[in-house]
Amino acid sequence: MKPFTIAWVNLKRLFRDRSTYFFVFIFPLALILLIGLQFGGDFLPQVGVLATEEGTTATEIVDALEAEPGLEVVPLRTEAELVDQVERGNLDAALTIPAGLDQSLAAGQPAELGFIARPGGTGAALAPVVGEVVQRSLLAANAAAFVSVQGLGDFPTSVALAQQVENGIPAAEVTEETVGESLFPASLGRFDLGASSQLILFMFITALSGGAVLIQTRQLGLSRRMLSTPTSVTTIIGGEALGRFAVVALQGIYIMIGALLIFGVHWGDPVAAIAIVLVFSAVGAGAAMVIGTLFRNAEQAAGVGIMVGLGMAALGGAMLPLQLFSPTLQRIAHFTPHAWASDAFAKIRDQGNIIDIAPELGVLAAYAVVLILFASWRLRVAITRP
């Protein structure tokens, strides 16, 4: 029970520090949200449409845009609203359909539609999509305009006739085929990738910052005082390791449940997901103890801990997906536990279960054992020497 007593004090001390609540619980979820919003996979661009008059062609264009998959059409009422919404980023782009479009086309005069978007980003990328939809919508109108200009019939009747004919003409079909493996599965949700990355990154940084607490405990003479009680060195080390583990595992499970409930993150097989969190927590606990025994003061350990945590996260694919790394860099990345944890999460997102991730769990467990054994030896020396 004594290891639990020591671990419990570690947890109690952690939650006495108010900054814990922000860095351990709020900040990770905020980053998952931010990354999901920026790079999310099921993002639906919104295009505002300002149709100043409900003519035949305008209706045709709006209907075609609404029928276009991957776009959401938002009707607008005024030019000012259009500009404001795009400028604020509430809309990705907007299309203006001018008044008298049908009349212009019927008279054989050029018609001009306005498209606005913020520079760069999604809006600019939408220009060709919207342009293609508009061009397609104008095919019948252009044919009707020809008939009307040639005096062979009136414009509205000709448009209706052209649309009927258009629908009956078999269209040429372009078939798509993808070769090779896709970088990310099509089912990947907008928050899924960011959630597992942030989970790994924050668990490890929280763990390493725990190294500073370990140094503080030693500096305060508390480790030696524990040793003066009928408590073995092994029990003290076990308690400290359990404390670090509990802190990291608690954060990992919290992020997992929070991201599932708030963002609907798909983690995959829950048993396998929790297994990854627990084994990675053990790696973090070992790393924290190594940091806590290698340095002499808490400030030094905290600074190095954050640098190492961020560096390993970047290298191990917790900042940028491993799939984007070169093969050489991917091999190097797998010197970090982060890469193995990322691989494990990727597997279970893609229908894998705990058996499928056994190799990754095995490697992570090996990391944990090596780190904890090394740190235990260092801590034993630190406690039993003046």
Partner 1 sequence: MANVMEAHDLAKRFGDLVAVDGVGFSIAPGETYGLLGPNGAGKTTTISIIAGLLEADAGKVEVGGETISPSAIGPKRRMGLVPQDLAIYPDLTARENLHFFGRLYGMDNNEVKERSNRVLEMIGLTDRADDLTKEYSGGMKRRLNIGIGLLHGPELLILDEPTVGVDPQSRNAILEAVEALSGEGMAVLYTTHYMEEAERLCDRVGIIDQGRIKAEGTRRELVNLVGQKDRVTIAAAGGQLQEAARRLSGLEGVEEAGADDQGITLLVVEAGRLLPVILSELSQNGISVSGVTIEEPDLEAVFLHLTGKALRDV
Q: How far is the CB of 256 from partner 1 (least distance, A)?
A: 28
Segment interacting with partner 1 (CB under 8 A) among 6-14, 31-39, 162-170, 287-295: 6-14
Segment interacting with partner 1 (CB under 8 A) among 114-122, 175-183, 203-211, 230-238: 230-238
167 vs 228, beta carbon nearer partner 1:
228
Supply 73's token pair: 């059409």
Q: How far is the CB of 302 from partner 1 (least distance, A)?
A: 16
How far apart are alpha carbons 316 and 336 in whole angstroms? 6
89 forms part of the interface with partner 1 (CB under 8 A): no
Q: How far is the CB of 11 from partner 1 (least distance, A)?
A: 12
Segment interacting with partner 1 (CB under 8 A) among 226-234, 266-274, 292-300, 354-362: 226-234
Binder among 136, 224, 266, 378 for partner 1 (CB under 8 A) = 224
Q: How far is CA 220 from the centre of its chain?
A: 41
221 forms part of the interface with partner 1 (CB under 8 A): yes
145 forms part of the interface with partner 1 (CB under 8 A): no
Binder among 69, 119, 230, 327 for partner 1 (CB under 8 A) = 230
252 within 8 A of 337, measured Cβ to Cβ: no
349 half-sphere exposure, CB direction, 13 A CA radius: 24
Interface of this chain with partner 1, residues 242 to 261, rule: CB under 8 A: none
231 forms part of the interface with partner 1 (CB under 8 A): yes
384 forms part of the interface with partner 1 (CB under 8 A): yes
Binder among 22, 139, 153, 225 for partner 1 (CB under 8 A) = 225
21 vs 335, beta carbon nearer partner 1:
21
Segment interacting with partner 1 (CB under 8 A) among 18-26, 217-225, 243-251, 340-348: 217-225
220 vs 358, beta carbon nearer partner 1:
220
Distance in angstroms between the alpha carbons of the first and the last residue of the chain: 27
Segment interacting with partner 1 (CB under 8 A) among 4-12, 20-28, 285-293, 303-311: 4-12
Q: How far is the CB of 295 from partner 1 (least distance, A)?
A: 20
Contacts with partner 1, residue ranges (CB under 8 A):
1-2, 5, 9, 12-13, 16-17, 220-222, 224-233, 384-386
